[in-house]
Amino acid sequence: MGTSVLISILITFLVIVLVLWLVQRLPIEARIRQILQIVIIVIGIISLLKYLAIF
C-alpha cells in the first residue's frame, strides 16, 4: 500500500514538472504564462494532498 502511494506521488510530481516545463516553452505572453503556472501548481498540490489523504 505504501509503495503504490509513493509511486503515485512521484508520477504526479513528474507530470507537474513536465507540464510546467511545457508551459515555459509556449510562445505566449508572460502574464498568461504566470497564471497558467499558478493554476498548474495549485492543481498539483491538491492532487498530491488527495494522495496523502489530507484533502
Written as tens digits, the pLDDT of the chain (55 aa) is 678 888 988 999 999 999 999 999 999 999 999 999 999 999 999 988 887 877 5
Q: Which residue has the cell 509511486?
A: 7
> Could you tell me the residue ranges of all domains in the chain?
2-51
pTM exceeds 0.85, yes or no: no
- In terms of Cα–Cα distance, which of 7, 4, 41 is closest to 21? 41
Greatest Cα pair distance, the chain, in angstroms, is: 43
